[in-house]
């Protein structure tokens, strides 16, 4: 038995979740539906343009959401990341503690600067558009890894949002190297279409000869493989991932367990906010496969859990909601 089910690395982000309409994007020159990296000045301008009183703070970040989900279902995780010694950094650490997430960060020794924050703009069509200021996440490097925690985990999990940063990319490559040395499973999420579209070479570096488990959506799968259909993309992905899960939005998901393709039926819900759906899918899936469930069972749990996330605002469930998802499937 390993101490942790999953050791994750990623950008530690505090989400500022708000509702806007399409005219907000036009007025402020925002590309709808994508995650865009912005500087502090740009994000401050946008925060002045929204109604902060109606906005909600939430612990976030792709990998952060995933490890929170793993713990809410009853698993154990460790998260290597970086926040600053400021109010948002304190909020992030307190949120991690509440969720039982292991970390080596201590508020007293955090660097000066600004904790990463993401303005998550949701629209009436349930779309989510993110403008992210990375803050001290730009300093995250191999120096922040914890080899002992990696060695004591069943899987490592890396988020694709790290690839634009040279130090973040090196941290991903080093994490994978340490995991392989200790025979720990390697899981990767592409995180966002923009990461494979604009940083495809870096992502291919991380994938290397192979990863044990890959998470992506249909758009990311086709961009990464240079194909025009899911049928083509899945065959190409078999060459670089031993197992993978492709989420298909309202059409469910496609799982490859290393031998067979498994179609996962969707749970029909009224979606109000798709932010965090992929993170929850990965968290529920990894919880399941590290607790004795088959890939088909893991896909079913992940599909149900992510359907619950998109039917509410915010990227995470409450612990009691996550536990109810488990009992509903039992």
The string of DSSP codes covering 117-155 is EEEEEE-TTS-EEEEEE-GGGGG--GGG--HHHHHTEEE
Strands 116-122 and 128-133: antiparallel
CA distance 181 to 184: 8
For residue 272, the model assigns a pLDDT of 78
The Cβ-side half-sphere exposure at 181, using a 13 Å CA radius, reads 11
Neighbours of 229 (CB within 10 A): 11
Closest Cα to residue 116, out of 62, 156, 163, 79?
Answer: 62
For residue 35, the model assigns a pLDDT of 83
Question: pLDDT per residue over 268-326, tens digit each?
Answer: 888 877 878 999 999 999 999 999 999 999 999 999 999 999 888 778 888 899 999 99
Closest Cα to residue 308, out of 73, 18, 60?
Answer: 73
For residue 20, the model assigns a pLDDT of 93
Distance of CA 67 to the CA centre of its chain: 9
CATH numbers and ranges of domains, the chain: 4-11+62-114+138-329 (3.40.1190.20)
Distance of CA 146 to the CA centre of its chain: 20
CA distance 69 to 322: 8
Instruction: Please tell me the total number of residues recorded for the chain in this structure.
Output: 330
CA distance 84 to 92: 10
For residue 273, the model assigns a pLDDT of 74
For residue 60, the model assigns a pLDDT of 87
Long-range contacts of 234-238 (CB under 8 A, 24+ apart): 234/261
pTM of the model: 0.92
Q: What string of pLDDT tens digits covers the 330 residues of the chain?
A: 899 999 999 999 998 889 999 999 999 999 998 888 899 999 989 989 998 888 888 888 999 999 999 999 999 999 999 999 999 999 999 999 999 999 999 999 999 999 999 998 989 988 889 899 999 999 999 999 999 999 999 999 999 999 999 999 999 999 999 999 999 999 999 999 999 999 999 999 999 999 999 999 999 999 999 999 999 999 999 999 999 999 998 899 999 999 999 999 999 888 877 878 999 999 999 999 999 999 999 999 999 999 999 888 778 888 899 999 999 887
Contacts of 320 (CB under 8 A, 6+ apart): none
The two three-digit tokens of residue 172, written as one number: 């991903």
């Amino acid at each position: 038995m390993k101490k942790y089910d999953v050791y994750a690395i990623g950008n530690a982000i505090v989400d500022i979740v708000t509702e806007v309409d399409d005219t907000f994007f036009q007025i402020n020159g925002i590309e709808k539906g994508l995650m865009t990296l912005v500087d502090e000045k740009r994000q401050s301008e946008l925060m002045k343009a929204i109604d902060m009183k109606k906005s909600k703070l939430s612990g976030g970040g792709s990998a952060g959401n995933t490890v929170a989900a793993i713990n809410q279902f009853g698993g154990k995780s460790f998260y290597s990341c970086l926040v600053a010694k400021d109010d948002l950094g304190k909020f992030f650490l307190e949120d991690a503690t509440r969720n039982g997430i292991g970390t080596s960060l201590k508020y007293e020794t955090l660097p000066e600067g600004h904790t990463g924050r993401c303005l998550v703009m949701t629209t009436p069509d349930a779309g989510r558009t993110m403008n992210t200021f990375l803050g001290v996440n730009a300093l995250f490097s191999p120096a922040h890894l914890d080899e002992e925690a990696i060695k004591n985990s069943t899987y490592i999990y890396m988020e694709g949002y790290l690839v634009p940063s040279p130090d973040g990319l090196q941290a991903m490559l080093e994490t994978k190297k340490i995991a392989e040395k200790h025979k720990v499973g390697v899981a990767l999420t592409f995180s966002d279409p923009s990461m494979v579209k604009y940083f495809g070479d870096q992502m291919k570096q991380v994938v290397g000869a192979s990863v044990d488990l890959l998470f992506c959506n249909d758009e990311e799968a086709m961009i990464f493989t240079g194909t025009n259909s899911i049928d083509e993309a899945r065959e190409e992905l078999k060459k670089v991932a031993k197992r993978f899960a492709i989420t298909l939005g309202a059409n469910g998901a496609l799982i490859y367990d290393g031998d067979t393709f498994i179609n996962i039926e969707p749970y029909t819900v009224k979606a109000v906010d798709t932010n965090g759906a992929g993170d929850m899918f990965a968290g529920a899936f990894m919880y399941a496969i590290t607790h004795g469930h088959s890939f088909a069972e893991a896909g079913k749990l992940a599909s149900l859990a992510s359907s619950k996330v998109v039917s509410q605002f915010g990227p995470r469930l409450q612990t009691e909601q996550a536990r109810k998802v488990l009992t509903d499937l039992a």
